[in-house]
Structure 1
Amino acid sequence: MAKGKLTDEVKTYIVQALACFDSPSVVASAVKKDFGLDVSRQLVESHDPNKKAASGLAPKWRVLFEETRKAFLEDTASIAISHRAVRLRALQRMAEKAETSGNMVLAASLMEQAAKEVGDSYTNRREVTNKFEGMTDESIGARLAELLGKIGGGAAS
Structure 2
Amino acid sequence: MATLNKKQKLFIVRSLAVFNTPQETVALVKEEFNIDVSRQQVENYDPTKRAGISLSEELKNEFYETRQGFLDAPQNIPIANLAVRLDRYERLYIKNIKNVAMAIKIMEQAAKDMGGQFTNQTKTELTGKDGETLPVPQQPIPLTPAEIKEHIKECLKKAQDEY
**What does the per-residue CA deviation read over 1:6-61, in whole Å, with 9 as the maximum and x for residues that have no partner?**
11111000000101111100000111111111111111111000000012111111
SS in 1 for 2:19: coil
CA RMSD between the two structures? 2.4
Unmatched tracts of structure 1, length 5 or more: 131-140, 151-157
Which residue does the alignment assign to 1:106?
A: 102
Instruction: Tell me the CA shift for residue 120 of structure 1.
Output: 2.1
Which residue number in structure 2 is paired with residue 71 of structure 1?
Answer: 69
Aligned with 1:121: secondary structure? coil
TM-score by length of 2: 0.73
Q: Residue type matched to 1:97 in 2?
A: K
Query: Which has the larger Rg?
Result: 2
Pair 74,127 (structure 1): closer, same or farther in 2 beyond 3 Å: closer
Alignment of 1:4-19 (within 5 A): 5-19=3-17
Per the alignment, residue 46 of structure 1 pairs with 44
2:25 to 21, 24, 27: 27
> For residues 92 and 80 of structure 1, what CA distance do their matches in structure 2 show?
15
Residue aligned with 1:62, SS: helix
What pairs up with 1:78-117 in 2 under 5 angstroms?
78-99=76-97, 102-117=98-113
Deviation at 1:149, TM superposition (A): 5.3
Structure 2 SS opposite 1:86: helix
- Structure-2 residue corresponding to 1:56: 54
Partner of 1:118: 114
Partner residue of 2:147? Answer: none
Q: d(CA) in 1 for partners of 2:53 and 2:112?
A: 45
Superposition deviation, residue 66 in structure 1: 0.8
**Residue 111 and residue 43 in structure 1: after superposition, are their counterparts in 2 closer, same or farther (change >3 A)?**
same
Count of residues in Structure 1 that have an aligned counterpart in Structure 2: 134
TM-score for both structures, normalised by structure 1: 0.76
Give percent identity, aligned residues only.
37
The one-letter amino acid of 1:118's match is: M
Residues 76-113 of structure 1 show CA distances to partners (whole Å, capped at 9, x for unaligned) of 222221111211121012111210xx222211111111
